[in-house]
Structure 1
Amino acid sequence: MIDIDRAHIRFRTRSGHVDAVREVSLRIEEGEVFALVGESGSGKSTLLRALAGLVPLAGGAMRIGGQDAARRPARDVQMVFQDPYGSLHPRFTVDKTLREPLAINGIGDQDARILAALAEVGLGPAFRFRYPHQLSGGQRQRVSIARALIVEPRVLLLDEPTSALDVSVQAEILNLLRRLHGERKLTMIVVSHNLAVVGFLCERIAVMRNGEVVEEAGIEAVRAHDVKHDYTRRLLHATQGYTRS
């Protein structure tokens, strides 16, 4: 479903440029849940944004379903952002937030689709005309997920989808994402610092450091600490230490 071939992403700065992603190549199968892990600044979210069409490539190529990612229909790839407080327009009701992508993509039967989208993420009709400030963090993230799914994408990109939420709410969102994957057979890429989140949702991971992929591994190998790169071992050790504390 997703073929990334030597992707290179560069940002200009006052002193020159920064190579945020360097020569990254990945293949992700249809229906797979794949994770990008690594420390802050490693290029994970930048790569995700490039797949969503929000950041241009300086080199390499990205294909989705065999088609150039830059030319594929926008509705095919949707993204859920890290911050449920900043990703929703504060002056839009939930109804308007969900109606907008339908209008942009020329999708009809909007009222029925909005009600169905809310029900799919566990929100009733009473939430339809509320504003973001009237919702909890978990409810806002559910609306963000509904907004992404309402146009029926083939690929769902999740940038730290639970990191801004309370621990109890994190579990609810993770269970929701796992159920949605099973029902819709979505291809999903999850960016996360939290290896517990990755272990719950994902089948394979790619470890990024300084804009490069240093290792790919199956989730069972990660659980068994059967990894090859020293950086991956340090990430696992750091996560284990945090969990024990």
Structure 2
Amino acid sequence: MIDLEHAHIRFKTKTGHVDAVRDVSLRVEDGEVFGLVGESGSGKSTVLRALAGLTSLNGGSIRIGTQRGRHDVQMVFQDPYGALHPRFTVDRTLREPLAINGIGDQDARILAALAEVGLGPAFRFRYPHQLSGGQRQRVSIARALIVEPRVLLLDEPTSALDVSVQAEILNLLRRLHRERGLTMILVSHNLAVIGFLCQRVAVMRNGEIVEQLGVDAVRSRDVAHEYTRRLLLATQGYTRGGGKLPQSETGA
């Protein structure tokens, strides 16, 4: 579904330039959930933005396997407070992508999209300031899915939320993947989150992929690179501090 080969992304700075992504290659199969993990500044979100068409490559190539249209790839952003227009109701937020893509039967689609993410029709004419962080993120997910993409890009979709709400959103994403057969790429700094949702993971550091491995290797800590081991230790600290992964699909 997704083929990224030898990607290079360079940004201009006041003092010259920075190579944010260097020679990154990865392949994601149809229906797979693939994780990109690394600390802040490792280049993982930049890769995601390139796949979404928001950032251009300076070298290498991207191939998305569906080619049905621009709505085939959709993205959910990290900040549920900044991702929604403050003067748009939920109805208008969901109606806009339908209008842009010339998709009809809008009222029925909006109600179905809200129901799919666990929000009732009462939320339809609310504004973002009337929603909790978790509800805002559900609206963002509904906005991405309402045009029926095949690929969903998720940029730290739970990191700005309370721990209990994180579990609900992760369970929701797992259910949506199962029901829709979506291909997903999930960016996170937390290997516990990656391990819950993903089948394979690429570990990024300083703009490069240092290791790719299956999620079973992550869970068993069977990793080759010292940087990956440090990320695992950081994740252990997070779980000891009170962060918990969802154990079931309740409340999603």
- TM over 0.5, yes or no? yes
Post-superposition shift, 1:234? 1.3
Please say if 1:150 is aligned against 2:146: yes
User: Unaligned 5+ residue runs, structure 1?
Assistant: none
Unmatched 5+ residue regions in structure 2? 242-252
The match for 1:204 among 200, 209, 215 is 200
Measure the CA separation in 2 of the matches of 1:241 and 1:77: 34
The answer to whether structure 1 residue 170 and structure 2 residue 166 are counterparts is yes
Question: Matches of 2:8 and 2:26 in 1, distance apart?
Answer: 13
- The answer on whether the counterparts of 2:190 and 2:231 sit within 8 Å (CA) in structure 1 is no
| Partner of residue 25, structure 1 | 25
State the aligned residue count.
241
**Deviations 1:146-197, CA, capped at 9 Å, x for gaps:** 0000000010000000011111111111110000000000000000112221
Equivalent in 88, 95, 102 of residue 91 of structure 2: 95
Q: CA offset at residue 240 of structure 1?
A: 1.5
Quote the Cα distance in structure 2 between the aligned partners of 1:92 and 1:227: 46
Q: Which residue of 2 aligns with 1:9?
A: 9
User: Deviation above 6 Å: which 4+ runs of structure 1?
Assistant: none
Where does residue 65 of structure 2 map in the other structure?
Answer: 65
Q: C-alpha distance in 2, partners of 1:195/1:62?
A: 26
The separation in 2 between residues aligned to 1:241 and 1:192, in whole angstroms, is 16
Find the counterpart in structure 2 of residue 49 from structure 1.
49
1:38 correspondence with 2:35:
no
Q: Write the mapping of 1:205-244 to structure 2, written as runs, cut at 5 A.
A: 205-244=201-240
Note the C-alpha offset of 1:66.
6.6
Instruction: Compute the RMSD of aligned alpha carbons.
Output: 1.0
Q: 1:229 to 1:183 in 2, by over 3 A?
A: same
SS of residue paired to 2:143: helix
Following the alignment from structure 2 to structure 1, what is the Cα–Cα distance between the partners of residues 160 and 89? 21
Instruction: Return the letter of the residue paired with 2:9.
Output: I
- C-alpha distance in 2, partners of 1:97/1:209? 35
2:110 alignment partner, SS class:
helix
Cα distance in 1 for residues equivalent to 2:124 and 2:18: 43
- AA in 2 matched with 1:203: Q
Q: Distance in 2 between matches of 1:136 and 1:234?
A: 33
1:116 has 2:112 as partner: yes
Report the secondary structure of 1:85's partner residue: coil
1:35-74 alpha-carbon deviations (Å, 9 max, x no partner) = 000010000000000100100111100001075xxxx622
- AA partner of residue 13 (structure 2): T
Question: Quick one: which amino acid aligns to residue 62 of structure 1?
Answer: I
Q: Secondary structure at the match of 2:111?
A: helix
For normalisation by structure 2, the TM-score amounts to 0.94
Following the alignment from structure 2 to structure 1, what is the Cα–Cα distance between the partners of residues 189 and 50? 19
Question: 2:142 and 2:208 mapped to 1: Cα distance?
Answer: 32
Partner of 2:121: 125
Aligned to 1:80: 76
Question: Which secondary structure state, in structure 2, belongs to the residue aligned with residue 215 of structure 1?
Answer: strand
